[in-house]
Amino acid sequence: MTLSKVSLAVAMSGVIGLTACETLTDPNNPNRQAQTGALIGAGLGAIVGSTGENNPGDRNRGAIVGALVGAAGGAGIGTLLDRQEAELRQSLGSNATIVNNGNQLIVTLPQDILFATGDATLSGALRGDLSALATSINNYPDTTVNVIGHADNTGGAAFNQDLSARRAQAVSSVLIQSGVSPNRIRSIGRGEDAPIASNLTPEGRAQNRRVEITITPN
């Protein structure tokens, strides 16, 4: 890559980084992921477009076209994630935690509400929420869904691995029964390998006992 191309790439990266940080840190912006996706897509498109020709004029035109195409693609994914996030927050209420990281939605449900201690049989408490989640998944068909079970470190590691896998499969089964295609869902048990809080306190262990549903655009 020539010096001018390196300079363009560095400049684009700086602009993208500063603007995306401002966009993502504004909690009142409901379209933050769409805007950030457009910025990143535009920057990457401009960099790629500028490297395809030897003539400076052609490089400039390539950068502009690449930026437009990249912005459209990035904004499209971001818009869909923003829209689905808003719909899920309305339908799931306070029972679920929803994180939109710009690449996927992560819906977290506490296992203490879903399951009795040491059991993989779903309680009736959140079946309505799982049905609402299935409806949302079906409304956005161009996504892949991972259902991931997590456990705390109470008991043996092998037991926790098996329990987390069976709980993830139980949630997956409800989503499938609610109309989600089995081809779109992957069920995964992580056992106690991915804690999000300390296992030294009851509160931390409760946070670690969870099922995460990740929704990723294809």
Is position 157 within any domain? yes
Domain that holds residue 184: 94-217
Do 180 and 205 lie in one domain? The reply is yes
Query: Rounded to whole angstroms, how far apart are CA atoms 130 and 197?
Result: 25
Query: Rounded to whole angstroms, how far apart are CA atoms 85 and 214?
Result: 12
Query: Rounded to whole angstroms, how far apart are CA atoms 80 and 105?
Result: 10
Do 124 and 202 lie in one domain? The reply is yes
Count of domains for the chain: 2
Do 183 and 106 lie in one domain? The reply is yes
Does the CA dihedral 146-161-172-111 come out positive or negative?
Answer: negative
Query: Rounded to whole angstroms, how far apart are CA atoms 31 and 39?
Result: 12
The better pLDDT of the pair 12, 82 is held by: 82
Do 145 and 212 lie in one domain? The reply is yes
Mean pLDDT for the chain?
A: 79
The better pLDDT of the pair 69, 31 is held by: 31
Is position 21 within any domain? no
Is position 6 within any domain? no
pTM of the model: 0.68
β 143-150/185-189 pair status: parallel
The better pLDDT of the pair 4, 208 is held by: 208
Give pLDDT, residue 117: 83
CATH code where residue 133 lies: 3.30.1330.60
Q: Report pLDDT digits (tens) over 133-153.
A: 999 999 999 999 999 999 999
CA distance to 30, 95, 125, 167, 175, per residue, from 130 (Å): 24, 11, 10, 13, 7
Is position 139 within any domain? yes
Is position 193 within any domain? yes
In sequence order, the 6+-apart residues with CB closer than 8 A to the CB of 38 are: 71, 72, 74, 75, 78
Q: How confident is the model at residue 182 (pLDDT cuts 50, 70, 90)?
A: very high
In sequence order, the 6+-apart residues with CB closer than 8 A to the CB of 138 are: 179, 180
